[in-house]
Structure 1
Amino acid sequence: MTSTLIGIAVIALVVFYLVFIYNRLVALRNEFKNGFAQIDVQLQRRHDLIPNLVESAKAYLSHEKDTLTKVMEARNGAVDAQKVAARDPENGGNIQRLGAAENMLTKALANFYAVAENYPDLKANETIQQLMEELTSTENRVSFARQAYNDGVMTYNTFREQFPNNFIAGFFAFKPTAQLQLENPEARQAPTVSF
């Protein structure tokens, strides 16, 4: 009788532990999905601002149509990648493609900003200044949201890979996911100092 009770207690403990692991995996997955939703909102804001910036700059950059076209193509690619990633943020490949598309957009915008430096009237335009400021603010928001998302992904992936969690994760198809890697060209360049 005592050994039967001990056996039932051990089985109950194991079952409760397995339920705990499963519930923790669900909670962590939902946490990083929420983090992605925050990025998604900011990326949508960024993508919505870019056509306004390009349209406002067209009058000033009539000789730079190639630059404007590249910005819009990169923006459209990023929008497409965002939609795919938003449908399945657990898919690490979708997240990596989104990161690559956003990096292309960032490079196109950096080129646009470099070209805009050569047009004083463009730089002085209030609408352009406001749009550029809003884009910069949005970039900062994306960075903060991306950091929270990446922290959530790291916590989820770490918990998922630990023993014995990896068995439960595998059995219930909790797949690893990828962090969102975005380049910030300004952060990668060393500041120049001249006297």
Structure 2
Amino acid sequence: MMAGRARGHVDGSAIRLLIIVLLGVAAIAVPWLTHNQLVERREAVAAAWADVESNLQRRAELVPNLVRSLQAHMDYEGETLTQLVRERAQGLREALNEARGDPARLARLEAALTHDLGRLMSRAGEHPELRSGDQFLRFQAQLEGSDNRINVARMRYNAAVRDYNASLEGFFGRWVADAMGLLPGDYFEAPAGAHEPLVVEF
């Protein structure tokens, strides 16, 4: 009878000790795993943003070549437009070098370039000799491909931001994020009125 009581007492103590150990492990493991998840998702956002920047840079570098191929065929009004497009592309390139991690600014610059480039391509469509030229057609195809890559990169970046921000809003994520000083990511959102696609078909 005494042995049974002792065994029950030992078993109860062992269970309590096991619970304390498990709680201690959970108290260490949960923040550690949450920290690792947040770091991983923050890096995914950075990698996706680098893809957006890379594709914006490629597009901004294509534009001067396109402008050079158009200049000989443009009248005064067209020359003013080609100059504006060239300046927009230069502004985007400079912003990519200066304003790393500023999606709102880059979205505004990219939308302005897209708008004016669309106007320029429309004007270029008035010249049959351009429409049939190999160089112009090559630039046209490159711009279409560049726009598609930018769109895919934007979607991937926004998906990475969504996952990261959702992790920050989790129960444990908030505590760990506050301790690490992590802030939510910004989505790459086009400004109002920039939703129309660039039309380059004639």
User: Which interval holds the TM-score relative to the shorter structure?
Assistant: 0.7 to 0.9
TM-score normalised per structure 1: 0.85
Displaced runs of 4 or more, over 6 A: none
- What is the 5 A alignment of 1:67-82? 67-82=81-96
- 1:15 deviates by 1.1
2:3 alignment counterpart: none
1:84 alignment counterpart: 98
- 1:38 deviates by 1.6
SS for the counterpart of 1:180 is coil
- What is the 5 A alignment of 1:15-26? 15-26=28-39
Return the match for 1:11 from 4, 24, 29. 24
Paired positions, count: 181
TM-score normalised per structure 2: 0.83
2:175 alignment counterpart: 167
Q: Which has the larger radius of gyration?
A: 2
Q: Unpaired runs of 5+ in structure 2? A: 1-12
Q: Unpaired runs of 5+ in structure 1? A: 188-195
Return the match for 2:119 from 111, 118, 124. 111
Distance 1:184 1:58 in 2: 28
- 1:5 deviates by 5.1
Q: CA RMSD in A?
A: 1.8
Give the letter for the 1:185 counterpart. Answer: E
- What is the 5 A alignment of 1:29-178? 29-63=42-76, 64-86=78-100, 89=101, 94-178=102-186
- The sequence identity of aligned pairs, in percent, is 25
Return the match for 1:185 from 193, 196, 200. 196
- 1:44 deviates by 1.7
